[in-house]
Amino acid sequence: MKKQAETSPWKFASVGGTVRVKLESGADICNLPQLDRKMWTVLSCPVQGLEFDAKTLQLIDANSDGKIRVDDVIATAQWLTRVVKDPDELLKESGSLSFDNFNTEDPDGARLQASARQILKNLKLEKEEIGLEDTADNVKIFADTRFNGDGIITPASAEDEPTAKLIETIAGIASAQDRSGVSGITADHVEAFYTACADYAAWQEACTPEVLPFKDTTPAALAAVNAVMPKMADYFMRCKLIGFDVATAPAVDVSVDKIAAIEGNLADAAAEIALQPLAKPTADGKLVLKAVNPAWKGAIDNMVSLCGIEKASIDEAEWNALLAKFAPYIAWLDAKKGAEVEALGLDAVKAILKEDKKAVLLDLLAQDKAEEANALSIEEVDKLLRLNKHFYRFLNNYVVLADFYDPDRLAIFQAGRLYIDQRSTDLCVKVDGPAPEISSLSGMYILYCACTSEKLGKSFNIAAVLTDGDVDGLRVGKNAVFYDREGNDYTAKVTAIVDNPISVRQAFWAPYKKVARMVNDRIDKKAAEKNEKSMAGLTDATNTAADGKAPAVPFDIGKYAGIFAAVGMAVGLIGAALAGVIAALKGITFWQFLLIVAVVMLLISGPSMFIAWRKLRKRDLGPLLNANGWAINAASLVNVKFGKTLTTLVKYPKLTAVDSAAHKKAAWRRFWCWLCVVLVIACIALWLCDMFAPCGLKSPLF
């Protein structure tokens, strides 16, 4: 650490309850490699889910592993401060860079300056600075260039019209998109095209007269044969069955019953008739070509015509001989190559092979490839401009976490604002899902919410931290509204809650609210039991009356006497307690009474307030971010004062006119509530007096 202090005089400040280094000059960015990693606030953060320029994050994440680590940040800082002349310009977060601020003494800086000038030249712009708006559209930059270094040539790359048309022809078969936005071809496309042309021409030359048994009509003849082949095979098998056993004739012949079952016009039932045998099977196995199933007559006549069959009938041997004639033609079809260029026609393919411009195309591709370094430099200019605009802000969210504590800025992990229960919170972090077991270590009150937008078709989860207000109305399943940083609204539903104190004020009232809930639950339970018992008795009485029997309910005087005695005793005890309270209060002054009330309330609320105070001092953002894939290296405290800036409560104006009846009713309700509180506290004070009296001690309250 001593050596580091000598070589890099860092300045430090207290940020978020922790001492952190200050980044206030370009020199500090240059010296980041010397900063002890133990002093970095963040050691790793995810690329996804941040409110930051996505392309810049990808540029910093050089190995594309989805995480930005310290080494990635250092490498980016070293490259950036090397190619710019004045690193202090980075603190301005400008999206433009003047040509004077390129460090031309560095080879990369000089190359980037030349590329920046080339971009403006391509865009036909004359100015002494370049901005992100100039590098945003690659298509526009390379629109009028012959070569752009992407290994793709377009018709515009050609020197003459025939070559341009050839490129267009090849691109019509297989293509890739050029940087200029036009379809073009690569070296692989050229090689594949000429190979296909050669293969197709050779395949066509292999088509000798021996391959075509019926000359030019061979393709049509084969199609006609294939159309009836299954039905012919079926017919000859039926004939064989009859030759094997004549008794099978009725089973393999035309089904008269199925034909009779066809209703309506038989001409409309060609599909059903076609299912019947091709012809009437015979033991000799001959097919009379004129006596075939009407549904197949057209196909048979077409086959007979194309194949030149002159006989009136045909048997299986003759049929197989006909099929054998097509064997060379079928073998030739199976050997087909270069089908992708068939649409061009054989004459065009032969002309292309004869002209042989393959070498010309490959030379154009070589010229394009030679511009690769310049083209990549043009893309690096965009990288430089993005980092010039966004890198300093990224450092303030990574090295220091300063943006989170800046009242005028939002940190890159703050996703938007959640509105719920008459308040809003700006500390909302996108998360993969609830992780209460980790987030509870933060000591913060966290609402996990599922956010959906049908309009945008997007959904995600957030962890929303509440740092002010009450939590009485919050529960799992409660609906809210979330607005992202762009103002889009989402339906938010609470899916999980991490319960921690929000304020000391809330902790003060927590014991009373807890007792009130307990009493209320007890009363509800007793009332429910009483109601169930009453309903059961009423049901029994109703059933008895329905049966025509009067319920026998004997009068028990002892039972009612006991009830009256219990009621009287309760009234007496209450009266005695009130009398004791009044008697005790007679001997003290008003200030002593206030002291009694304060001490008793402190005894009740003190432990809860002390626990809340300790937790509020230790509220830490780190565990929440750690649960979302961050590696936080230093405490990031959210104290009470800062917490009030993250959560905003509703503020109503004072009303000038109030409903007098409602106001009077509310006043009486408050009066009786406070009266009950005072009586309870007085009773506790009286009990303390009675507890000290037997020991001869005087109560410290008097």
Q: Which of 216-225, 384-393, 493-502, 573-582 has the lowest mean pLDDT?
A: 573-582
pLDDT computed for residue 2 by the predictor = 34
**Confidence class of residue 253 from pLDDT cuts 50, 70 and 90?**
confident
Query: Does residue 537 carry a pLDDT above 70?
Result: no
Q: Which of 461-475, 507-521, 652-666 has the lowest mean pLDDT?
A: 507-521
Query: Does residue 6 carry a pLDDT above 50?
Result: no
The DSSP secondary structure of 272-321, one letter per residue, reads HHTTS-SS---TT--EETTSS-GGGHHHHHHHHHHHT--SSEE-HHHHHH
Query: Does residue 683 carry a pLDDT above 70?
Result: no
**Confidence class of residue 686 from pLDDT cuts 50, 70 and 90?**
low
**Confidence class of residue 439 from pLDDT cuts 50, 70 and 90?**
low
Q: How far apart are alpha carbons 191 and 170 in whole angstroms?
A: 10
Task: Over range 596-612, report the average pLDDT.
Answer: 59
Query: Does residue 573 carry a pLDDT above 90?
Result: no
**Confidence class of residue 147 from pLDDT cuts 50, 70 and 90?**
confident
Query: Does residue 348 carry a pLDDT above 60?
Result: yes
Query: Does residue 350 carry a pLDDT above 50?
Result: yes
pLDDT computed for residue 700 by the predictor = 45
Tens of pLDDT, residues 298-316: 999 999 999 999 899 999 9
Query: According to the 3-state scheme, what is the secondary structure of 2-46?
Result: HHHHHHCCCCEEEECCEEEECCCCHHHHHCHHHCCHHHCCEEEEE
**Confidence class of residue 50 from pLDDT cuts 50, 70 and 90?**
very high
For the chain, the structural domain boundaries read: 2-140+372-405, 155-206+342-370, 209-334, 416-500, 504-537+596-617
- In single-letter form, the type of residue at position 213 comes to P
198-221: b (≥16 Cβ within 10 Å) or e: bbbbebbeeeeeebbbbeeebeeb
Tens of pLDDT, residues 318-332: 999 999 999 999 999
Rounded to the nearest 5°, which phi and psi values hold at 4?
-60, -45
pLDDT computed for residue 684 by the predictor = 62
Q: How far apart are alpha carbons 496 and 450 in whole angstroms?
A: 10
Question: Chain-centre distance of CA 126, in angstroms?
Answer: 43
Q: Which of 9-18, 105-114, 534-543 has the lowest mean pLDDT?
A: 534-543
Q: Which of 40-44, 390-394, 454-458, 694-698 has the lowest mean pLDDT?
A: 694-698
| % of the chain surpassing 70 pLDDT | 75
Tens of pLDDT, residues 174-186: 999 887 778 999 9
Task: Count CA atoms within 13 Å of residue 626 on its CB side.
Answer: 18
Can you list the alpha helix ranges (DSSP code H) found in 123-217?
132-135, 138-141, 161-173, 187-205
Q: How far apart are alpha carbons 490 and 481 in whole angstroms?
A: 6
**Confidence class of residue 5 from pLDDT cuts 50, 70 and 90?**
very low
pLDDT computed for residue 317 by the predictor = 93
Task: Over range 197-209, report the average pLDDT.
Answer: 92
pLDDT computed for residue 495 by the predictor = 94
Threshold 0.85, pTM exceeds: no
- On whether the CB atoms of residues 80 and 388 are closer than 8 A, the answer is yes
Tens of pLDDT, residues 411-433: 999 999 999 999 999 999 999 88
Say which residue, 458 or 640, is predicted with more confidence.
458
- On whether the CB atoms of residues 409 and 93 are closer than 8 A, the answer is no
Task: Over range 630-634, report the average pLDDT.
Answer: 90
Query: Does residue 628 carry a pLDDT above 90?
Result: no
SS3 of the chain: helix, strand, coil, percent, to 5: 60, 10, 30
| % of the chain surpassing 90 pLDDT | 48
Task: Over range 82-106, report the average pLDDT.
Answer: 94
pLDDT computed for residue 442 by the predictor = 80
DSSP state of 489: E
Q: How far apart are alpha carbons 521 and 496 in whole angstroms?
A: 23
Q: Which of 470-474, 657-661, 676-680 has the lowest mean pLDDT?
A: 657-661
Query: For residue 622, what are the β-bridge partners?
Result: none
Query: Does residue 513 carry a pLDDT above 50?
Result: yes
What does the longest C-alpha to C-alpha distance in the chain come to? Answer: 140
Query: Does residue 479 carry a pLDDT above 90?
Result: yes
Tokens for 187, please give them. Answer: 């070296």
Question: Chain-centre distance of CA 221, in angstroms?
Answer: 58
- On whether the CB atoms of residues 135 and 119 are closer than 8 A, the answer is yes
pLDDT computed for residue 261 by the predictor = 80
